[in-house]
Amino acid sequence: MLRSRTLGNSASQTYSKLCESHSESWMRCCIRYLGECKQFLALGIGRQFTDPPEMPPVPSPVLLLTVYNHDVLSRLDEVKARVTSVFGTILKMDSTKKVTKKLAGTAADTAAWVTNVGRGPAPHGGWSHGTVPAGRGGAPPQLMYVDRDCCSSFGGSKTAAMFNDWDQLVVRLDIWHLMGRFASGVTTESHQLYGPFMRQLSACIFEWDAGDVRRLLKAKRSEMERKHGMVGLTEAEVSRKIGRKEMALHCRRRTRGAAATEVLLLDLLETFNSEKGVDTLGIPLLDSIRIQAIWKEQRRHLHCIQDPPGVQLYTETGKITKGGVMLPVYRCARGSTSLESFHLHLNRFIPGTKANAMHFQAFLLDGLVRWNEDRARAAVEGKNRKPLLSYSGHLQHILNLNSQIVLGKEQVKDYTKPSEYTGELLGVEYLYSQTGRVLQDVSADPDLPEEAAAVEQLDEEDEGFQEEDVDQTVHIPHVPPMSAPSSSSAAPLVRGTC
């Protein structure tokens, strides 16, 4: 019951559920016993009846945590092997501080950051996340998206230097983070022109695949004519009916190239820094001094956001029919914003407000395995999910092995045996290794009193997990964006030095 790493699935919540279930069961037994006694009374058989036995006590939340911890320890090597057997050619790296605040006991206030590395879509379109990059065996990663340290004023990339074994790794800056840096130059996000500015900013960086857009417009027009009888619409009117999610789902984008983007951004900033960037109350959108400083600093990153030549960023995951037109469904691996959503879920892996080092590690590793399995399963099965649901790689492997011998086929589809665990340090283990400590040696009994006190504060709300699939950099070209220089329509992608 404690294995599911969803919001509110804490020891105290499980304890409450067990108390409710056991209480109802005890009351049913009492009712049955007293009902039998009533029959004797109805027959006039006078006698003294004894009270029903008291309800046996339910194990305390601390004991439930201890049992769960032993459960994870019993399959620790398998769990670690499955976390570190996640590979990908496109990686994304980001860090969060929030979850480290849940470390209690001897580990409290010893960690500043948790760094997560996720991989882009696999051939089947799934997503996986881990706490270390998977680099053992297989082809090395080609590309990594980051929110900082993409390049240095003195040359070279700090991130690339961290992974120097991957000499072909290209480091790119997440475009949403770059757009956010420019957005910090506005006077207020509630300004009337903030939305148009951000859309134009996206249009300066990206251009849509013309063939994909034409196909989607055709499908949307046909759908509106068939379902709503709306005929004779202009292309702009049809475009206004298309949402950001539809565009991201059926249309591919590419970066314009550093030179073309620089020209467009200069034009955009000059436009919104003039009289055209003032709202009806006379308030300018941009802080002139601040935006100039931002442009001076961020200009060098225009090379860091370009799509690397030869790297496949889009995976076709299926097809759907809209208005009688067949549309491909794409999943894009560009950027690191998917990790921003993952940080929320990572924080929910650790229930409540505090956990000692050992419990923190157990929650973290079990949560990562289940997260990866869920993402892979959802990508393969979609809405037609099968009733078989198990996170035990050992059971799946043994079942498939025996079924292959006896029946000549596998019972669990799409199961891949993880590589052997080779000792990579994860989570709190890595934290402790920096001071020469071993997790199992320092996180046993000393923290139990603090855990017992903290367990009373655990959250009891369970909202489950939901992924946010909308890419914030996606803009809808309702109005044709500023045109690029005459050569930009056919300009090759520019490889930047990071």
Give the whole-angstrom CA distance, residue 395 versus residue 373: 14
| 298 and 178 belong to one structural domain | yes
Q: How many residues does the chain have?
A: 498
Question: What pLDDT, on a 0 to 100 scale, did the predictor assign at position 84?
Answer: 81
Q: What is the pLDDT of residue 88?
A: 78
Mean pLDDT, range 307-322, rounded to an integer: 91
Q: Are residues 325 and 415 in the same domain?
A: no
Packing angle between helix 194-205 and helix 258-272, nearest 10 degrees? 160
* List of residues 6+ apart from 255 with CB closer than 8 A: 175, 205, 206, 207, 261, 305, 306, 307, 493
Are residues 73 and 54 both part of a single domain? yes
Task: Kindly state whether residues 58 and 161 are assigned to the same domain.
Answer: no
Let me know if residue 31 belongs to a domain.
Answer: yes
Considering the domain boundaries, does residue 152 fall inside one?
Answer: yes
- In-domain check, residue 321: yes
Least confident interval from 112-126, 282-296, 336-350, 478-492: 478-492
373 and 450 in a single domain? The answer is yes
User: Which pLDDT belongs to residue 341?
Assistant: 78
Q: Are 75 and 394 in contact (CB under 8 A)?
A: yes
What is the model's pLDDT at position 188? 93
Chain segment 437-464, per-residue pLDDT in tens: 887 644 444 444 444 554 444 433 333 4
Name the residue among 273, 268, 271 with its Cα closest to residue 284. 273
Closest CA to 8 of 366, 458, 466: 458
Q: Identify the sign of the CA torsion 32, 36, 37, 41.
A: positive
Tell me the percentage of the chain whose pLDDT exceeds 70.
Answer: 82
Tell me, what's the pLDDT at 130?
Answer: 42
Does residue 271 sit in the same domain as residue 358?
no
Count of CB atoms within 10 A of residue 412's CB? 15
Residue 415: name the closest of 435, 432, 444, 395 by CA.
395
Shared domain check, 123 and 224: yes
Q: Are strands 128-130 and 206-208 parallel, antiparallel or unpaired?
A: unpaired
Residue 229 located in a structural domain:
yes
Average pLDDT over residues 56-63: 91
Task: Report pLDDT digits (tens) over 343-361.
Answer: 888 888 888 888 888 889 9
DSSP label at 153?
T
Query: What number is the average pLDDT over the span 427-446?
Result: 73
Distance CA 325, CA 221 (A): 10
CA nearest 85: which of 420, 430, 427?
420
Cβ atoms 247, 229 nearer than 8 A: no
Question: Where is 410: in which H helix or E strand?
Answer: none
Note the pLDDT of residue 387.
Answer: 62
Computed over every residue of the chain, the mean pLDDT equals 81
Q: Quick one: which of 464, 424, 471 has its CA closest to 117?
A: 424
| Residue 400 in domain | yes
For residue 302, tell me if it sits in a domain: yes
Q: Tokens 């090395």 correspond to what residue?
A: 140
Quickly count: other Cβ atoms within 10 Å of residue 320's Cβ: 12
145 pLDDT exceeds 50? yes
DSSP 39-79: HHHHTT---PPPPPPPPPPPPPHHHHHHHHHHHHHHTHHHH
Q: Which of 349, 355, 347 is nearest to 452 (CA)?
A: 355
Whether residues 32 and 72 share a domain: the answer is: yes
User: Which pLDDT score, from 0 to 100, does residue 446 have?
Assistant: 46
Q: What is the mean pLDDT of residues 44-70?
A: 88
For residue 482, the model assigns a pLDDT of 43
Range of the domain at 312: 90-336+470-490
Number of structural domains found in the chain: 2
On whether both 285 and 158 belong to a single domain, the answer is yes
pLDDT band at 137 (very low <50, low <70, confident <90, very high): low
Sign of CA pseudo-dihedral 465, 466, 469, 470: negative
| pLDDT band of 135, cuts 50, 70, 90 | very low
Pair 75, 148 in one domain: no
Distance CA 409, CA 402 (A): 9
The reply to whether 167 and 72 lie within a common domain is no
DSSP result, 107-137? GTT----EEEEEE---TT---EEESS---SS
Distance of alpha carbon 68 from alpha carbon 461, whole angstroms = 20
407 with 354, same domain?
yes
Percent of the chain with pLDDT over 90: 37
Q: Give the single-character DSSP code of 310.
A: T
Which residue intervals of 277-422 are DSSP H helices?
288-298, 337-349, 357-381, 393-406
End-to-end CA distance of the chain: 47
Residue 28 lies in a domain: yes
Cα-to-chain-centroid distance, residue 161:
25
Tell me what the mean pLDDT of segment 247-272 comes to.
Answer: 95
Tokens coding 489:
């329509």
Residue 464 domain-assigned (yes or no): no
Mean pLDDT within 363-371: 90
Average pLDDT over residues 461-485: 53
Q: What is the pLDDT of residues 9-46, one digit of tens each?
A: 888 889 999 999 999 999 999 999 999 998 888 888 76
What local confidence, expressed as pLDDT, does residue 121 receive?
53
